[in-house]
Structure 1
Amino acid sequence: MNWDAFITCAVTGSGLSHHKSDKVPVTPQQIADACVEAAKAGAAVAHVHVRDPGTGMPSRDPALYREVVARVRDSGTDVVLNLTAGMGGDIVLGSPEAPLPLNADGTDLVGATERLVHVEELLPEICTLDCGTMNFAEADYVMTNTPGMLRAMARRIQAAGVKPEIEIFDLGHLWLAKTLVDEGLIDDPVLVQLCMGIPFGAPYDMNSLSAMLNNMPEGWVYSMFSIGRMQLPYVAQAVLAGGNVRVGLEDNIWLDRGVTASNGDLVERSVTMLSAMNVSVMTPAQVREKLGLKKRW
């Protein structure tokens, strides 16, 4: 049981959820406002993707990250910023009978330096490191993160003085994370996010989660979440399993049956659940102390 937990709010993500709910933030102003809203509701960490303001589609344009970060910082709101570094590893194959050439519309595959331009410029306190390659539910899409790519990215993140949050979608990803730590590419305290219930990674069931937890090295700090209707149940599951909490519109757009949520709604519901369990919700300052972070502004 974790009696002192922090909440991360993943405010927008890179999926097509903006077509399903008008509460999903798209523009830099909306994304920054969502970070502030989540922080005021009780989230210590805001996890940030950016989107093309015109189309709502995912982007890795450093100018968009620059604007989001500036707006959050200028607001005076105290929140730990966690910028994704997961963009730029997307492969979409042509078809089952003709996988090559790759589908140019969906493929976005770039090098380690380009994937980290915004991180090395803006120096957030945390950035993500997706620790493995994985098939998603889409027929021909592969999230691609080779060991060589991850080693190169981990070195650059370490040199920048940014804390990587290692995204773990399956048990083999945890094995690879241990290897990066053993090789000295990730510093203590190690921070992990267990991403459960995402097709076709680790299911959200207890057997799968137990396998993850049974292989978690002692001393690592971990959060966990699941998607859709299992997001809020995982708030309780996370602290019962000794971890921390992630909610937000990246992973779930619903507050109740038929009721779309805002990011603030999901954080407020999480705070209510944790308080009812006598769990103390950590502040950004407490998270910085726990993870050895330095406030950047």
Structure 2
Amino acid sequence: MPLTPSSEVFITCAVTGAGDSVVRSDKVPVTPVQIAEAAIEAAQAGAAIAHIHVRDPATGKAARDVQLYREVVDHIRASGVDLVLNLTGGMGGDMTMGPPEKPLPPIGSRTDMAGATERLAHVKALLPEICTIDCGSMNFGNGDTVMINTPDTLAEMARSIQALGVRPEIEIFEAGHLRLAEHLVQQGIIDDPVTVQLCMGIPWGIPDDLNSFMALLNNLPKSWIFSAFSIGRNQFPYAMLALLAGGNIRVGLEDNLWLKRGVLATNKDLVEQAVAIAHTANARILGPSEVRKKLKLTKRW
């Protein structure tokens, strides 16, 4: 399909994620205050949206404790810095199987499976503008970990998110996830404007080569609003690709730790680079209030 570059874009900063990046970079925020301050700095650098996970302050490992989310959100809201809050809904859907000859029972210490209501407890408590849902299941990284999101679970989560007045952001990691997203929309479970994130290059999802990217774009309904990103060294190229394809930009330490070879980045660094990329393409960067209008979001604070 013909593509028209975006003349205006919004930038999402994925601040910390849930991976093992803490052991690879001391720039990754861990405590609620660190995560909140990183989001605030990203907003001041030009990000309109902060995509937020939380971590156990003692271990740095991914968590889904409502109180940790509350501390992050309260700190951001008290700062006076305007920012669209996007809380993850992806936690609680990970299962690590046992060894190949004895896959069951799963390895409990590395498995986190929860029901739809429990996975959204922080969203109900804090009412962000956006909440992500991972639109499908897939093998996730090396080893025996599987990301599990069944159609019924996703439908229940999407209904619950929208009933709270929160906008679902659909995370697409694979071509089949796009088909499932279309099904949810056709069933009337997800309302317009449909908002998606194309998550490229995640092992073992869709690769981030241009043919694969175009395959998703060619099947993406024209009315849907999308952002796209890739990980590691391809984060910045994908910022430009997303813009040139008519979409929006995501950067952040969830997806990439490096500013350039040998130089660890902060979230602020990555957002500043995204801003420079957008300006190079003569695209205007949307602020939080403009994004709320574009995505029909409700600000609760």
TM over 0.5: yes
Equivalence map 1:48-63=2 (5 Å): 48-63=52-67
Q: In structure 1, give the amino acid aligned to 2:129.
A: E
Deviation >4 Å, runs of 4+: none
Stretches of structure 2 lacking an aligned partner (at least 5 in a row): none
| Cα pair 2:141 2:203 within 8 Å, conserved | yes
Shift of the alpha carbon at 1:138?
2.3
Q: Give the alignment partner of residue 24 of structure 1, picking from 14, 23, 28.
A: 28
Q: Give the alignment partner of residue 285 of structure 1, picking from 273, 284, 289.
A: 289
Q: 1:28-87, CA deviations, whole angstroms, 9 ceiling, x for partnerless residues? A: 000000100100000000000000000000000000000000000000110000000100
Q: Give the alignment partner of residue 71 of structure 2, picking from 61, 64, 67.
A: 67
Equivalence map 1:257-272=2 (5 Å): 257-272=261-276
User: 1:273 and 2:280 equivalent?
Assistant: no
| Cα pair 2:233 2:256 within 8 Å, conserved | yes
Shift of the alpha carbon at 1:136?
1.4
2:141 alignment partner in structure 1: 137
Q: Give the alignment partner of residue 232 of structure 1, picking from 225, 228, 236.
A: 236
| Cα pair 2:17 2:52 within 8 Å, conserved | yes
User: 1:88 and 2:92 equivalent?
Assistant: yes
1:41 alignment partner in structure 2: 45
Shift of the alpha carbon at 1:277?
1.2
User: 1:171 and 2:180 equivalent?
Assistant: no
User: 1:217 and 2:217 equivalent?
Assistant: no
Instruction: State how far apart, in whole Å, the 2-side matches of 1:149 and 1:107 are.
Output: 17
2:255 alignment partner in structure 1: 251
1:119 alignment partner in structure 2: 123
2:104 alignment partner in structure 1: 100
Instruction: State how far apart, in whole Å, the 2-side matches of 1:89 and 1:273 are.
Output: 34
Shift of the alpha carbon at 1:104?
0.6
Report SS of the residue matched to 2:50: strand
RMSD (CA atoms): 0.5
Instruction: State how far apart, in whole Å, the 2-side matches of 1:112 and 1:267 are.
Output: 32
Instruction: State how far apart, in whole Å, the 1-side matches of 2:37 and 2:210 are.
Output: 35
| Cα pair 2:40 2:76 within 8 Å, conserved | yes
User: 1:79 and 2:63 equivalent?
Assistant: no
Instruction: State how far apart, in whole Å, the 2-side matches of 1:202 and 1:101 are.
Output: 29
1:198 alignment partner in structure 2: 202
Instruction: State how far apart, in whole Å, the 2-side matches of 1:146 and 1:276 are.
Output: 41
Q: Give the alignment partner of residue 159 of structure 1, picking from 151, 163, 167.
A: 163
Q: In structure 1, give the amino acid aligned to 2:107.
A: N
Q: In structure 2, give the amino acid aligned to 1:49.
A: H
